[in-house]
A and B are shown apart, each in its own frame.
Chain A
Amino acid sequence: MIQKFLSDKEGSAAKFFMLSSLVWLVLGMGLGLLGSLEFSYPDITKGIPQLSFTRIRPAHVNMVAFGWLSMANIGSALYIIPALCRTKLFSEKLGNFACVVWNGVIGLGALSLLNAYTEGREYAELREPFDVLVLVGLLLLSYNLFRTVLNRTVKKLYVSVWYIMGAFFWMPIVYLVGNRTFVAMDGLNDGILNWFYGHNILGMWFTVLGVGIAYYMVPKMSGKAIWSHSLSMVGFWTIAFFYAPTGTHHLLQSPVPEWLKALAVIFSAALVIPVITVLTNFYMTMKGSWWMLSTNMPLRFVMTGSLFYLFTCLQGPFQATRGVNWYIHFTQWVVGHAHAALLGTFTFFVIGSLYYGIQRLTGRKIYSVRLVKWHYWLLFIGFSIFYLALTIAGLQQSVGWALGYPVGQWSLTLPPMWFTRLIGGAMMFTSSCLFAYNIYKTMTDKTISTDAELNLAVPVEGK
């Protein structure tokens, strides 16, 4: 048993992370679906404390953010870094151990949140023991990956390595600063700290990891070299400088110091630069290869993610400006935006990377391309419905707040939106189940193909 969990086989850590992330994806999305069901039918779980919306919400957020997205990203990073450095991972055992720790944290952490053992701060709900374990896992992974990079046999560092190393440098610091276990402040300062953390797990972790992975996947899957290396560097350095101070834009109308708000708004607006550079690079690389999207499903996932990335990251600076923020803040619009970033963009990126990476790591062809297509369309359409419903609901709420109507009055206009959101959510949940089933069938497949047979740079065909 221990042999199996702490295996020394090449690629086993990456695989372990990728496969565990699928479990958390299905469970986390299931919780999210239940939560959205409670918007339409608030009394459906009446009297069961563990299934009250207020407890499901943190469990859902932690499961999908730290269980699904982080672990899938880490799994991809553990695969990409050795591949780019032409070396083995420094220690597979350490990687596997980090995965065991992380799985324990997500499982027990979610249970503890459902039982109201919570720190009570958005995105930082996990309590002290879990915080320490998450940090241990992160530091082990950082150590592992940095040592791998030091062991490399190619001289130049490709941009993905920059991004991934950046993520594994920033995330432990952000996590250390953002949790009350390690740094505790009082009153309003706690709010500032909360949002420094809350926005930087997005910026210094999900974004840099996601973009790093996409930077690897786009040239790899399209079989072309990246359009411009210097442009990719501009993107990396601007994100490194511009992202960190933006968190206070969550508190623009609260009594925090004005200079801090100004800083947050200016830097939020400046984030357009990294986004434009990254996407210019992606799209110029794809020039002449767009036909591949019709058959190459992993590439289609990544490129759809990049479209959502463009959309989300133009929306973000837009809604961080004061004029828009006073109107939009506090509404479901923001919830829609948060999902567009984590679900629309980075989930699409990493799904492409999982389909690609699992085939490469195991040498097995994906079980059913038809299921991949179903996965894609259900997720894409489901998410679009979900996003539009939340955005419209947000605008309705904005009108209510702006005109000073009582909540009870405008909230009656929202049930159709809650229900539409539920439909979108159900579609996405179904797609995730198909995804997990497809990967399960792939993993239990006996036939092993060589890299040449897989031929992943050209369209993936079903068996």
Chain B
Amino acid sequence: MNDNNENKKIGAKGYLMPAIVVAVSFLTIYTVVVAIPDMTMIKTQPSKYAMEYIQRDEKGQIVRDKQGLPVPNEAGLGRQVYVREGCFYCHSQFVRPQDRDFGSKVQAGDYVNETPNVLGTSRTGPDLSNEGGKLPDAWHIGHLKDPRAYTPGSIMPSFSYLNDEDLKHLVAYLQSLGRKRFEDPANRGIYEAYYPEADTAFWKASENHKPNVDSATAANAGAGIFRQNCAVCHGTNGLGNGPNALAMNKKPANFSRPFYKAYSDKTWYYKVAEGVPGTRMPRWKLKLKPEQMWYLVAYLKTLPQDNVEIIAPYQSIDDLQWESQSALDAPLAETQRRIGQQKEEGSYKPNPGGPTGSELSGGSAGGH
């Protein structure tokens, strides 16, 4: 198509040398930057913290499928979900030398099985390299489904669309992250304050004077501690409508919501002791004794209800609004009505551990 230009063509004359220079220089750079690190680092032995994402049988042999490929284990499947759903866009997976309270620093050998890499370049959310074991599975599943119910103010997308299997695998993967680092006794000191599942001083101390958290006595004791310390924000009955709630940007939790049933004793304890980052919820372990916090746990356990109406937190101190707000306490009013009826009939028995009728009648927030 360029026949008419044929005789005037100039071609590559005089430009061959520069072209070769460009090619050679670029390939040299490529070798130095990519190929040499690969050749030197691929020989790095897996460190003792490197995770395995493949199944092994009892003899330690790798399980292979029909095509001879290694079969991923549960965490390995979860890792696939992690990569597929793009979690690495907002969560990094390396601890930097300057990061505090993140656990031990990572080494090159930790990553030998991490393919494709999920190092991440942004921390819109927290770093996850030592996430495993910090929080119970139930928390993770609930948090993945509805992040803002668990961490107020979070902007994480809801992953409620994942099916149960994917969620289970993903949580298995999250629990595997940094697991070996935290199980290493050499690192014990670093993890002192964390990990509900760890056998650390934190949990050992909590076992001192631990009451039976399922007993009504403990719950009643907890109710008193709750009124003294928690009610100003969470409301007398834990509906998240205490007077302080007015001034708060992130409203206190309403413990009557059904999903709190999923909390284990240790989760409750951990939340009370460590507070909720990003909210005004303090770290009660600085003020309360472990025994007192267990009493609180015993009381808090009795609060979640089925089919509860979510109560909007107070928005204003306008009297009328407060009135209408307390009218919203429908489940509470219903309970009170029933208790009153039972009392009249003489069949009233205090709910073991739960709020008693007298407490309830004195506790309407509208009465302030």
Contact = CB atoms under 8 A, between A and B. Distances in A.
Interface of A: 38-39, 42-43, 45-49, 52-55, 57-58, 87-88, 90-91, 116, 118-122, 150-155, 157, 166, 169-170, 173, 177, 180, 184-194, 196, 204, 240-241, 244-245, 247-248, 250-251, 253-257, 260, 263, 326, 329-332, 334-335, 397, 401-402, 404, 406-409, 411-412, 415, 418
A401 B41 contact: no
Size range of the chain B interface in the assembly: 35 or more
Contact of A58 (B29, B38, B86): B86
Contacts of A397: 123
Contact of B147 (A42, A189, A244, A247): A42
Interface of B: 1-2, 5, 8-12, 15, 22-23, 25-26, 29-30, 32-34, 37-38, 40-42, 83-90, 92, 94, 96-101, 105-108, 110-119, 121-126, 147-148, 151-161, 249-250, 276-279
Among all A-B residue pairs, the 9 with the closest Cβ atoms: A408-B278, A54-B86, A120-B83, A406-B277, A408-B277, A253-B96, A187-B111, A404-B100, A330-B123
Given A87-B5, A152-B10, 6 more contacts: A118-B83, A153-B5, A154-B10, A191-B119, A250-B121, A254-B96
A186 B86 contact: no
13 contacts: A43-B148, A48-B161, A116-B84, A120-B83, A169-B22, A187-B114, A245-B33, A255-B105, A255-B107, A255-B111, A257-B37, A401-B123, A406-B126
Contact of A245 (B10, B32, B277, B278): B32
A411 B157 CA distance: 15
A247 B121 CA distance: 12
A177 B26 CA distance: 12
B250 to A, nearest CB: 7
Nearest to A48: B161
A118 B15 CA distance: 41
Contacts of B26: 169-170, 173, 204, 240, 244
Contacts of B107: 255
B88 to A, nearest CB: 7
A157 B34 contact: no
A265 to B, nearest CB: 13
A100 B143 CA distance: 44
A77 B50 CA distance: 48
Contacts of A241: 25, 29
Given A188-B108, A189-B42, A190-B116, A157 B30 contact: no
Nearest to B85: A54
B122 A155 contact: no
A157 B15 contact: yes
B278 A254 contact: no
Nearest to B96: A253
A240 B21 CA distance: 10
Given A49-B161, A260-B37, A190 B106 contact: no
A329 B127 CA distance: 13
Nearest to A407: B126
A47 B34 CA distance: 41
A251 B241 CA distance: 47
A38 B94 contact: no
Contacts of A189: 37-38, 41-42
Given A116-B84, A334-B121, A244 B33 contact: yes
Contact of A263 (B32, B38, B106, B118): B32
B161 A185 contact: no
A187 B117 contact: yes
A120 B88 contact: yes
A151 B5 CA distance: 7
A244 B2 contact: no
Given A187-B115, A406-B277, A42 B155 contact: yes
Contact of A411 (B15, B155, B160): B155
Contact of B249 (A157, A185, A193, A412): A412
B84 A188 contact: no
Most buried by B among A169, A260, A411: A411
Contact of A244 (B30, B37, B94, B153): B30
A13 to B, nearest CB: 13
Contacts of A204: 26
A118 B110 CA distance: 24
B117 A42 contact: no
A418 B153 CA distance: 13
B4 to A, nearest CB: 9
B40 to A, nearest CB: 7
